Amino acid sequence: MINPLFTFQIEAVQNRARAGSFVTPHGVLETPSFAPVGTQATVKSLTPEQLSDLNASLILANTYHLHLRPGDKLIKEMGGLHKFMHWSGPILTDSGGFQVFSLAKKRVIDQDGVTFRSHIDGSKHRLDPEKSIAIQENLGGDIIMAFDECSDPYDMQYSREAMTRTHQWAERCQRAKTRSDQALFGIVQGGIQEDLRQESAQVISNLDFPGIAIGGLSVGETKPEMYRILEVLDQALPGEKPRYLMGVGTPEDIINGVRRGVDIFDCVLPTRLARHNAAMTRFGGRMNIVNAQYAQEEQPIDPQCECYTCQNFSLAYLRHLVISKEMLAATLLSIHNLHTLIDLVNQIRNSIIAGEFEDFFQQFDQKYAENKPAGRMQI
């Protein structure tokens, strides 16, 4: 059923890459799009004004964390997430499903839902599809997620069980949803098994969500395996719905995802790298700012970068902040890292509209291969 508050229009296509616009009650989301992650209603170390200056168009917040602290009912009483965190643009809330996967030692899964212990104080909680939707309705995001279960990508039996529960929970989420000003996305699961992914894509597509998320990737599988599954889903998912690849956000994964039909991305990586003193580069490299080679370096992280950090500060200054454990280091590095990804998706979008995406991809791929051996660090 079409909801006039949420419309998706594809403006240009080159091969499988798409440039589009997803209209929400809090603004238009131009795609491809990268969403900074504000797990606890804040993108770490940055103000909403700084995010606006970066041209961020969508922010992700976390159902599990905000339910535990400060509480979704309190946020509702305070006017919802937009007012609470002073963000006027679109907000996406995840369902808490990934925490089902990541809190393996603190949870018990059954057919109806999940019982888990809080990572904060050990208190006992219950999360199921109906509870997840109720929390997300209290939070008031524009895009909300169906409650799902993410599995070990290499465990086929568990992947099938988790996929089946995800399908059952998706239907329960649809029945539980009451707000017309929120778009509920279904989530495709199935590990790295092509047949499971095709089955999941068909089931979720038949439920006619206004958008579809791809879950259970970037959780331990190799990049070729992830790209293979995206190619399978590109053929299996309806072309008229926006596609959201959950938790993926390196430059190489974004451009390869777009090339396989993905529209929306999010990831904690840019701000996490910043808190670990690392700067992202445009073609996949990472610079460890602590390195002594930067102690007297007058150049910025990237002389061609137009972000506030690179336009105003040298590597020597950034290294000084890091060594001195100044909070400003995380802010300036987060600005640069987020700019790197947001600027990348904007360039990708422009190249699709201009009919030049394949050339853009080939140039990126060549420069990525040249930069890959140098400056890499794992966080």
Q: Which of 72, 94, 234, 263 is catalytic?
A: 94
Name every residue whose Cβ is closer than 8 Å to that of residue 4 and which is 6 or more positions away in sequence. Answer: none
User: Which residue out of 72, 234, 266, 302 is catalytically annotated?
Assistant: 266
Amino acid identity of residue 113, one-letter, is G
Q: What is the 3-state secondary structure (H, E, C) of 283-317?
A: CCCEEECCCHHHCCCCCCCCCCCCCHHHHHCCHHH
Report the alpha-carbon distance of residue 97 to residue 135 in Å, rounded.
13
- Judge contact between 165 and 129, C-beta under 8 A: no
Residue 266 annotated as catalytic: yes
Token pair of 92 as six digits: 């996406």
SS (H, E, C) the chain: CCCCCCEEEEEEEECCEEEEEEEECCEEEEECEEEEECCCCCCCCCCHHHHHHCCCCCEEEEHHHHHHCCCHHHHHHCCCHHHHCCCCCCEEEECCHHHHHHCHHHEEECCCCEEEECCCCCCEEEECHHHHHHHHHHHCCCEEECCCCCCCCCCHHHHHHHHHHHHHHHHHHHHHCCCCCCEEEEEECCCCCHHHHHHHHHHHHHCCCCEEEECCCCCCCCHHHHHHHHHHHHHHCCCCCCEEECCECCHHHHHHHHCCCCCEEEECHHHHHHHCCEEECCCCCEEECCCHHHCCCCCCCCCCCCCHHHHHCCHHHHHHHHHCCCCHHHHHHHHHHHHHHHHHHHHHHHHHHCCCHHHHHHHHHHHHHHHCCCCCCCC
Q: Which two tokens stand for residue 68?
A: 């535990």
94 annotated active-site: yes
Residues designated catalytic:
94, 266
